[in-house]
């Protein structure tokens, strides 16, 4: 069993549903899960944790408003996150040049703080005719052997 902190970046609510679908699947897989809808960097446990960041992209490749403080604090922080692992799910629209840029930039920031990437960025393209919650849940199940 692992302990997950799900960190959500969502402007219109869609990515929040994706995060909650992941929460449901991770609990079914036997993990402990806490969801952060207004993430505060200093208040999220990192030691021996898995951070699952689910974020959409808005503006010209920007983070959603609710996760901006978290990203700013992470950018400024020199905290060593080497005892923390992460995976990122990006929700976006491939008609933008900046497809899932916020998710890509989040990965870079976490890596620069020594956080260990478990699996490559998983992107969900809202341009396609898909069920984003189901895709995210399938991703969790596909990667379940890496989540410990």
Report the interface residues with ligand FMN, using CB under 6 A. 10-15, 56-61, 64, 91-93, 96, 98-101, 126
Q: Which is nearer to ligand FMN, 36 or 58 (CB)?
A: 58
Question: Which residue's CB is nearer to ligand FMN, number 1 or number 12?
Answer: 12
Vertex 133 angle, CA 4 and 109, to 5°: 50
Residues 81 and 123: their CA atoms lie apart, in Å, by: 24
| Signed CA dihedral, 70, 61, 95, 118: sign only | negative
Please say which residue, 1 or 60, places its beta carbon nearer to ligand FMN.
Answer: 60
d(CA 85, CA 52): 9
In the bound state, the residue with its beta carbon closest to ligand FMN is 92
- State the minimum distance, in angstroms, from the CB of residue 56 to ligand FMN: 3
Q: Closest distance between ligand FMN and the C-beta of residue 136, in Å?
A: 12
């Amino acid at each position: 069993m692992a302990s997950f902190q799900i960190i959500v970046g969502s402007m219109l609510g869609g990515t929040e549903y994706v995060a909650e679908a992941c929460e449901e699947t991770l609990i079914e897989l036997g993990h402990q899960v806490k969801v952060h809808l207004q993430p505060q960097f200093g208040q999220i446990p990192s030691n021996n944790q898995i951070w699952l960041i689910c974020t959409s992209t808005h503006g010209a490749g920007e983070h959603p408003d609710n996760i901006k403080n978290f990203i700013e604090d992470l950018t400024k922080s020199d905290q060593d996150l080497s005892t923390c692992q992460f995976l990122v799910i990006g929700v976006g629209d491939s008609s933008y040049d900046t497809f899932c840029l916020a998710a890509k930039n989040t990965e870079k920031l976490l890596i620069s703080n020594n956080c260990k990437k478990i699996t490559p960025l998983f992107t969900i393209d809202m341009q396609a005719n898909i069920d984003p919650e189901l895709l995210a849940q399938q991703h969790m199940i596909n990667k379940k052997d890496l989540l410990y």
